[in-house]
Each structure stands twice: as structure tokens, then as C-alpha cells.
Amino acid sequence: MPSEPIEIKIKILRQEIEELNYQYYVLDNPSYPDSHYDKLLQELISIEKKHPELITDNSPTQRVGGQPLSGFSQITHLTPMLSLDNVFDSDSFGKFYERVFHKIASDQPITFTCEPKLDGLAISCLYKNGNLVHAATRGDGKIGEDVTHNIKTIQSIPLKLRGDFPELLDVRGEVFMPKDSFEKLNKNAIKDGNKTFANPRNAAAGSLRQLDPKITAKRKLAVYFYALGNAEFKKLQNDAEQTSDERLADSHHNRLKQIQSWGLPICDEIELRHGDKACLEYFKEIGAKREQLPYEIDGIVYKVDSILSQDKLGFVAKAPRWAIAHKFPAQEEMTLLKGVDFQVGRTGAITPVARLEPVFVGGVMVSNATLHNKDEIERLDVRVGDHVVIRRAGDVIPQIVSVVLDKRDVNASSIIFPKVCPICQSPLEKEIDQAIYRCTGGLICSAQKTQSIIHFVSRKAMNIDGLGDKLVEVLCDKQLINSVADIYQLSKDDLIGLERMAEKSANNLLQAIEKSKQTSLAKVIYALGIREVGEVTAMNLANNLFDFKNIINANLEELENIEDIGPIVAKHIVAFFENENNRQVIESLISHGVSWPEIKPKDKSELPLLNQTWVLTGALSQLKRNDAKAVLQSLGAKVSGSVSKNTTCVVAGESAGSKLKKAIELGIEVISEEEMLKLISSFQIVKI
């Protein structure tokens, strides 16, 4: 049988590769493993090597092409790239809504397309006959820079459109750097002694302005499209009367769907909302899951959905009257560094804490920020008296991201890292390749002792209600407790008379202490505060080794065989139990009545969620997403990132969006985080 001509083979391969890209990036629902994509691409590369005359600019092999450029050329946008007016609170949004409502003279609530405001850079991509011709930055709105060579490195940008696309298409969107790519980029920069980027937007901007696309390709940018610039369809013979506008949808939301149908990715959080209240609810919902989104956003954009109404409203200066950006409170602010204290943690880690002139950032007043470690102080070259940029994102501890050198005072003084523990004066030690200095005082160090007791009684550990940080500090100061086991010897007499401790609160506390004795093995292990042993590792230890004797006597090899435990964690566990003091504490806890249900070894085939596929979506409030994943996996489940007909169950956290919608459409079981936790604890081998 004659083989097909090479041109046809190449065409089919390119189409197959584009199709896989579309499934992966636009539909977020790949039907093949990544290895299949790699195989097809390799095949295309090798054929093109033999037939260089058949290489086209828009072949998937040409995403990272050619030599570095010597500069950027300019591109005049077909229609200007507009900006948006901003509001910063719901009252101002209310006023915007009123203006729109009156101008449209509607008797119904106005429908808006609500979209996350992506924190990146605006981009315009021009396609002719379905082929990517060029891509340009916004520039001054009229003329931008040609960044086609870098845009092509973004895998989700189609080099060829699909479906019923217009002959000429100018489509606008936002190029951004996903949070995980940003973290990787900065980690590598620190490792290589290079400068880091302060935030993903700066990193995206820096990457897009590279002259060498090979560098951009490594940075893993992404894009979502959010508007049409121009769209002109070919005139059809039998449809001569239909104009381009008529072939476009008459609502913004449906136009976005058209954009998506041409193979261009759009953000999957976009939703239609009717009326001002519903828009503000969307603002709240997205705000709640902002930290969980894999990319940075800095607000919400509301766009009047009807194109007819948009036309009625028109534009002012450089912004449309039919759209507004509702910004979240700024996550970065400048303030003064007044001093630095050195705190000693539960495991002896010395953390420099910046004392700041209080500043309102990320929605709260911040007066302290972490400086992490000595390397970080040196990397930032920060001095007391400097003006610094503080970042507070979500519940994450505020950080200093940079120093405003322009404002440096001549009297700004260097920060001197201590040579000995600031609390107990024991020498400090640092492991090779690690940035953290630690106090070697162990439980001689009162700070370490207090912190380890605070951890022991905390909610996820022994959960002793009413024994807060301050009270632990007082009990330690007064030498009423010296180790975690002493908590179980406290008497009413010890407590009464302490500040704010009357008979009733003393009784309540003693009851809470008593109640905490009935617990699970995993919780006791976690409560001991072994370095690097979090809730999930503690649970894995309990479920694999079943009782304390086995855990105490486990060697490195046995420990490393357990899921989630690597050589470093294994070393910490062995070292902890080699310490005679620690063994005595455990014995003492048991002799005071701390106990847990016996765990019976189970055969792998008995794992309760074996052969099931689970999906986690939305914001979880009690477990970190990775921890929830690990727990489900330890019960035998596969945890997938996308919902399909093969999904067994979807756990929907707060503000779950498109995955939840899809699960409902497919009739897949959906449960809340609470229900998942209940289910997990109902399996006898897992007590968390």
C-alpha cells in the first residue's frame, strides 16, 4: 500500500497536536496522557528535520524559533486598546450601576458578565485566515511592541484557529505568570544567585520583554482572552446579507464562548450575574477563593453583557462606560522598618521578625512581617530605617518583598544576626544547604519549650480548649508546667489565682484537659512536634506502623518506605525517638491516661476508596488541598484535577465554580469538605 504523501502526514500531525493543545489548555480536559503529545511532537520534529522546506511559521515545532531579536518593532493596533475605570468599594460600584441603569433605561436588573481581573499584561493577537500573524503589547493604547516571538512560546496560544473563525480577528487578553511558575522561577533565581521578581506580574512583564524567546519559553507564561478588538468574517455567497456583526453573538458572554470555540483560552471563573447585588456576591465569592486560584488577580471586572446596551453606553476618554474594575484592597504597601526582633520557634528556628510602622495592607493593619532567615536579610539588603514594600496576600504572613533604595536614609543601620540564641544563649547551628539557624538548647531553651507546649495543645493536635498561647506562657513562667506531660498533672489549686482564672474557668480548663486524653494516635504523633512531621505525615506513620512501639523503634529504611516520608523527615523522626527525654514524655502521657483506639493492619485491597477517582474543587477551610489529597490517596483514591464521567466524587469547597457545575451536569456525587472529613474519620484506619 503506498504511504500517504509527506505533506499530508505533516498536516495530520500538526492538526493532532493542535487538537491536544486545545483539549489541554482551552477545555482543560485532556483525553490523552502528556506522553502522547510528546510522541507526536517528536515525530513532527523528525519529519521536519528531513524536509526543512515544509516547515511553516505556524508549525507547533516553531514555538521557540530562531535567533534572539536585536530589538522590538512597533505595531499599530487596528483599534485602540482601552483601559478600565476603577472602583474600590461597593458604594462606588453602586453608583456605577445606577448610571448604567438610567442610561439604558431598563426596567429589569442589568445583566453583567463578571470576570476576574487578571494581574498580568494586556496583549492583542492578530489572526488572518486563522493563522497567528502577530501579537503586541498595549503600549500607549494605539501603538504597542511586537512580542510575537515570545507569545508563540505560550503553549495555550493557538498558532491556528479552529471552528468557524473570522477571516480577520484581533483578540485581546491578559498574559500572566501562574503562581507555581513564578515560585519556581524565583526559587531558581535564588539558587543561582540572581535577582528575584517581586510578583508574578513583574515576572510576566520581564519575560514578555525578552529578546530571546528561549528564555521566555522556560518561564511558562499563560494567557486568557477577554475581549474582541476586531472580527471580520468572509462574505459567504449564499449569505451575502449577513454582516460580520451579525455573525458575532449579541452578548459579551456569548462572544467569549465564540472566542473559546475558535480555540482561544478564556478564564473558567467567568459568570453571568443579574443585578448589582449578584455582582457584589460574585466579588465576594471570587475574593474568598482568590488564594486558591492558580494565578494572581487584583479585582473583578463587570461588563454590561448586552452588546446593544454597550453601544448605547459608549466610551469616555480611554475607557468604556459599560465596564468597571472593582479592585481588591492593595496587597502591597510601603512602610518604614523600625527594628528587627529574633524569635525562637518550637524547633529552635531563629526567625527575624520585622517591626514596622503600622500600615493598612491586604485589608488589615500590619505591624510585623517575617524576614524568614539570615539569607533573606542579605538578599534584600534591608536595613533598619529603610522604607520597605510589604506584601500581605490572603492569610499568608506578611512579607517584605523589596527595599525602596531611593528613599534610603544615611542613618539606616545594618541588621546584625545573633551569634547565640537570644533567649537561652546556647550556640546556634545551621545544616549545610539550609538557610535556617537553630538554637541548640533543646528544652533547656524556655522559648522552645513554651512553643512546643503551645503546639501540643493546639486545635489540630490535642485540641485543649481554653489553653491559649498566653496562658501556656504564664504556666511555663511560673514553672507550673515543664513538659507537655505536666499539663495532665495540673490541679485546680495551680490554676485558680492566675490572671483571669476563676473557679469556673479553672473547672472548664480541667475538663478540656481531661477530654483531650481520648484522641487518635496520629494526633498524639503530630502533637509531639517532631520536625517536619505535619498532620498528614503523622497520619501516615499511624496508619503504616499502627502503634507507638513500632514508631519509636522504626529505622530509617522502614520509615522511608512510608508514603510522604523522605530521608530528611525519616532522620528527624529517628533522632526524636532516640532522645531519652522524648521517650519518657510519651510514657508519661500514656500513664496519665492519654489513649486512642487500636489500629488494625489492613490489606491494600481493603482500602475503602480503592479504584475511585476524586476531585477537589473550591476553597477548603480545614485541610490544605495537598493534605486532603494525601489523605484521600492514603485511602486508595486517585485524585484528579478535572471532572469527567469517570469521577467518583467531587468535594466542593467554598465558591467552587466550573468543576462543580460540570459534576452536577454529569450527575456525579458532590459532597462538602465537612462531609469528606466525616467520611474519612469513619474509616477506622484513618483518624485525623
Query: In the complex, which residues of this chain contact ligand IVH (CB under 6 A)?
Result: 82-84, 115, 117-118, 122, 138, 174, 226-227, 301, 320, 323, 325
Contact 523, 541 (CB under 8 A): no
- Residue 2's contacts (CB-CB under 8 Å, 6 or more residues apart) are none
Closer to ligand IVH at the Cβ: 304 or 400?
A: 304
Q: Which is nearer to ligand IVH, 60 or 299 (CB)?
A: 299
Give the nearer residue to ligand IVH in terms of CB position, either 85 or 473.
85
What's the first-to-final CA gap in the chain, in angstroms?
Answer: 64
User: How many helices (H) and strands (E) would you count in the chain?
Assistant: 25, 26
Q: Which is nearer to ligand IVH, 137 or 210 (CB)?
A: 137
Distance CA 233, CA 247 (A): 8
Least spacing, CB of residue 197 vs ligand IVH, in Å: 18
Q: Which of 644, 647, 642 is nearest to 617 (CA)?
A: 642
Neighbours of 361 (CB within 10 A): 23
Distance CA 516, CA 457 (A): 9
Which CB sits closer to ligand IVH, 330 or 474?
A: 330
Residue 516 to residue 510: CA distance in whole angstroms = 10
Compute CA 368 distance to the chain's CA centroid, rounded to the nearest angstrom: 23
Residue 414 C-alpha cell reads as 545594618
Of 175 and 565, which CB lies nearer to ligand IVH in the complex structure? 175
Cβ nearer to ligand IVH, comparing 23 with 83: 83
Task: Judge residue 545's burial from the number of C-beta atoms within 10 Å of its C-beta, 0-12 exposed, 13-18 middle, 19 or more buried.
Answer: buried
Among 159, 134, 118, 124, CA closest to 18: 159
User: What is the pairing mode between strands 86-87 and 323-327?
Assistant: parallel
Q: How far is the CB of 146 from ligand IVH (least distance, A)?
A: 18
Taking the complex as a whole, the smallest distance from the CB of residue 178 to ligand IVH amounts, in Å, to 15
Amino acid identity of residue 479, one-letter, is: Q
**Nearest distance, CB of residue 119 and ligand IVH, angstroms:** 7
Shortest distance (Å) from residue 86 CB to ligand IVH: 7
CB 296 within 8 A of CB 199: yes
Q: Is residue 39 among the annotated active site residues?
A: no
The catalytic position among 50, 95, 117, 289 is 117
Among 537, 504, 545, smallest CA distance to 630 is for 537
Cell numbers 451579525 correspond to: 246
Nearer of residues 320 and 653 to ligand IVH, judged by Cβ: 320
Q: What are the helix (H) ranges across 146-251?
A: 148-151, 179-191, 200-208, 213-219, 244-247
Q: How far is the CB of 83 from ligand IVH (least distance, A)?
A: 5
The SS3 assignment for 672 reads: coil
Least spacing, CB of residue 131 vs ligand IVH, in Å: 25
Distance CA 408, CA 336 (A): 10
Q: Which of 587, 560, 563 minimizes the C-alpha distance to 573?
A: 560
**DSSP bridge partners of 299:** 117, 327
* C-beta closer to ligand IVH: residue 144 or 348: 144
Return the closest-CA partner of residue 24 out of 49, 44, 41: 41
The CB-of-106 to ligand IVH minimum distance in angstroms stands at: 21
3-state class of 63 per DSSP?
coil
Residue at shortest CB range from ligand IVH: 122
Distances (CA, A) of 646 to 610, 613, 616, 661: 14, 7, 14, 16
Least separation in angstroms between residue 283's CB and ligand IVH is 13
Residue type, 231: A
Nearer to ligand IVH, 263 or 320 (CB): 320
Q: What minimum distance in Å lies between the beta carbon of 38 and ligand IVH?
A: 32
C-alpha span between 541 and 559 (Å, rounded): 8
For residue 576, the surrounding DSSP H or E stretch is: helix 567-578
| Catalytically active residues, by annotation | 117
